[in-house]
Chains A and B, each alone.
Chain A
Amino acid sequence: MAIYSAPLPKSVGRELPKADAASLEFEDIQHFLIHRSPALAARYEFLTFREPLAGRAWLRAMTEKVTTAAAVRSGQLNTRWVTVALNWNGIRALGLDDHSLASFPEEFRQGMATRAEVLGMTGANHPEHWKGGLASADLHAIVILFARDVPERERCRVEHEKFLSQCQGVEVLSSLDLEAIPPFDYAHEHFGYRDRLSQPVIEGTGEEPMSGSGPAIKAGEFFLGYPDEEGPSAEGPKPEILSRNGSYLAYLMMEEHVGAFRDFLRQHGETQDEQELVAAKLMGRWRSGAPLVLTPEKDDPKLAGDYQSTNDFDFGKMDPRGYACPLGAHIRRMNPRDTAANMNRRKMIRRGGTYGPPLPEGAPEDGRERGIAAFVGCASLVRQFEFAMNVWANDPNFHELGNERDPIFGTQDGTFDMTIPKRPIRKKIKGLPAFTTICGGAYFFLPGIKALRYLASLT
């Protein structure tokens, strides 16, 4: 899913590489985490089921609209891609029995809002400030629509609205429209950083990992019912049909304070070049995407676009003290590469896009809402997503730093610092402001197609 950017991937319109036929059941897996669609627009609708019967009828019809991984792999050209996921309250509202409900992992049963403390979502990020009813017990399901362009999204929106008007007892709690922001030739977010440079490749999809990304990751790290990096597949929810080909999704709506971010760059850099360097030190990559480890002194946009080399680096051997990429920079926290243990058990697949209008360069903050609304897909929320939030993003003592959090993504309240190692004396920025605020989130279960049918046919 690529609403940060427009260009069609080379794979579109032709068959994808041959997969390991024995392994992944593509016809039973929703496409969402396997393939990124070339979308320019999207819409997320958050739903509540007032009646179990109505919820099941809605789910039955929607399951037939869901885009499977097999459909995308067949090379057919789509104009829209549909994904359906449910939270624990939603599965309960559909009428699953108590014994099966209890078999879901604890963190999923509790939901993201209840886990806010574990995730470091305090202060302005606390669920009491969340929008769209996402922290409410009424939230049951999400339908994620990715569309080739805005007119196609609008067509689908109207169609779903019509269908919902026939489903008495299923209501939209809130919705979010997303659009790619210009320039459209590469994926980026509102601060201007190029995105999606480092994504895991799933074993069995036939895709080749980028240089420096290590081998493909076992499917069980992302899909229930498959062997993972530790060995045989871990126990899944009951009944058995629910623990095949499903995943968990952590949804995050993160507002980006572009005005505050640009003010900060101006405050810490006199020239354009100095400001770009400050931006790069926060991220660990230049805004072009070129990694500081490979080009620490000046930007190299060509390197950013070169998929063979832009990811081909480590931290432990190439930059152990952080002179190029600070120890607390965003990419060093979110993907510590060779400086963390068991990295292959912490991989996640990201999907999502930007919402809100871009703030033109040089324009003052206009107070309009803009940011990223994204999903993190994995097989275990507690081991993968919550670990990344708790330890990598928000542990002040990450890499012995003492009083820092992720400068871009961590919970900031003006009391944490950012250390930029430099010879002879490091630079320390005191009291980093918050460039982002989490304003919504939820945990969803992304069932396989058969599991969706099973849930839709509960009695």
Chain B
Amino acid sequence: MAATVIETPSTRKEKVRDWTKPAAMAIPKEGYFSLKNGRYGPIYPRTPACHGFTIIAKIKPGREETIRAYGKTIETAIATLKLHYLRWVLFDIGKDTYFMYQGIFDTDFDKYTEDAVALFKKVGVNTVFENLEGFPEDWKTNVPAFLKFVREHQCPSFLEYGEYPYETADEIKKALQLKAKFSEMLDLMQ
């Protein structure tokens, strides 16, 4: 394995990326190195683990089973999302139960915010969100309120690492496709 590259703002050149060198990036508390605004607020940098966010929110009392049960429903519906990974976790702190939503995306969430809201509606992710404390009841007609909730409950990472840094899901799928086609080609040459 090649040596891990430690990324800092000065070495972090958006345009020069090398997937062969695993990379890590330590991130300031605000979640960004310098304030750059998107349509709905600060833009978080693309890290070696691509874009992503972690939302942590308290669930309404007694809703744990509803949320767990919904995992099964969403299992099939969510395949249409375009991202690397989603992790949904429920955990307790004292008597309260918290929900953690971690997503790794190829694009900055700010850019496709409205698409995400529409998709959430379509695949029913909202059912989980509606069981969170403080989630706006009128979120379907009030996108700004939805975004405010997401931004207020987002906890930026202080370190992110990527074994094949910055590569998009599309590029990874292309590489796997190429491998499959190539072995098919070798078969045809027998």
Interface residues, chain A, CB within 8 Å of chain B?
105-107, 117-118, 230-232, 234-235, 341-342, 345, 382-383, 386-387, 390-391, 395-397, 400, 402-403
Q: Is the CB of B115 within 8 A of A232?
A: no
Q: Name the A residues within 8 Å of B36 (CB-CB).
A: 117
B160 within 8 A of A: no
Q: Is the CB of A403 within 8 A of B15?
A: yes
B40 within 8 A of A: yes
Q: Is the CB of B171 within 8 A of A400?
A: yes
Q: Which residue of B lies closest to A389 (CB)?
A: B39
Q: How far is the CA of A395 from the CA of B106 in the complex (A)?
A: 13
**What 6 A-B pairs come out closest when comparing CB atoms?**
A341-B115, A391-B111, A386-B39, A382-B39, A117-B37, A342-B118
Interface residues, chain B, CB within 8 Å of chain A?
14-15, 36-40, 107, 111-112, 114-115, 118-119, 140-144, 168, 170-171
Q: Is the CB of A342 within 8 A of B114?
A: yes
Q: Name the A residues within 8 Å of B118 (CB-CB).
A: 230, 341-342, 345
Q: Name the B residues within 8 Å of A345 (CB-CB).
A: 114, 118
Q: Which residue of B lies closest to A346 (CB)?
A: B114
Q: Name the B residues within 8 Å of A235 (CB-CB).
A: 141-142
Q: Name the A residues within 8 Å of B171 (CB-CB).
A: 400
Q: Is the CB of A400 within 8 A of B144?
A: no
Q: Name the A residues within 8 Å of B111 (CB-CB).
A: 387, 390-391, 395
Q: How far is the CA of A232 from the CA of B140 in the complex (A)?
A: 10
Q: Is the CB of A231 within 8 A of B38?
A: no
Q: Is the CB of A390 within 8 A of B38?
A: yes
Q: Name the B residues within 8 Å of A342 (CB-CB).
A: 114-115, 118
Known: A341-B115, A342-B118, A383-B114. A397 touches B39 (CB 8 A): no
Told that A386-B39, A390-B111 touch, could you supply 5 new A-B pairs with CB distance under 8 A?
A: A107-B39, A118-B37, A231-B140, A342-B115, A402-B15
- 19 A-B contacts (beta carbon < 8 Å): A107-B39, A118-B37, A230-B140, A230-B141, A234-B141, A341-B118, A342-B115, A342-B118, A345-B114, A345-B118, A382-B40, A383-B114, A383-B143, A387-B111, A390-B39, A390-B111, A395-B111, A396-B14, A400-B171
Q: Which residue of B lies closest to A395 (CB)?
A: B111
Q: Name the A residues within 8 Å of B140 (CB-CB).
A: 230-231
Q: Is the CB of B141 within 8 A of A387?
A: no
Q: Is the CB of B38 within 8 A of A397?
A: no
Q: Name the B residues within 8 Å of A383 (CB-CB).
A: 114, 143
Q: Is the CB of B114 within 8 A of A106?
A: no
Q: How far is the CA of A79 from the CA of B143 in the complex (A)?
A: 42
Q: How far is the CA of A235 from the CA of B140 in the complex (A)?
A: 11
Q: How far is the CA of A383 from the CA of B15 in the complex (A)?
A: 28
Q: Name the B residues within 8 Å of A341 (CB-CB).
A: 112, 115, 118-119
Q: Which residue of B lies closest to A228 (CB)?
A: B141
Q: How far is the CA of A383 from the CA of B37 in the complex (A)?
A: 15
A54 shortest CB reach to chain B, Å: 35
Q: Is the CB of B170 within 8 A of A400?
A: yes
Q: How far is the CA of A189 from the CA of B25 in the complex (A)?
A: 47
Known: A395-B111, A400-B170, A403-B15. A387 touches B142 (CB 8 A): no
Most buried by B among A107, A345, A386, A387: A387
A107 shortest CB reach to chain B, Å: 7
A19 shortest CB reach to chain B, Å: 26
Q: Is the CB of A232 within 8 A of B141?
A: yes
Q: Is the CB of B143 within 8 A of A106?
A: no
A333 shortest CB reach to chain B, Å: 13
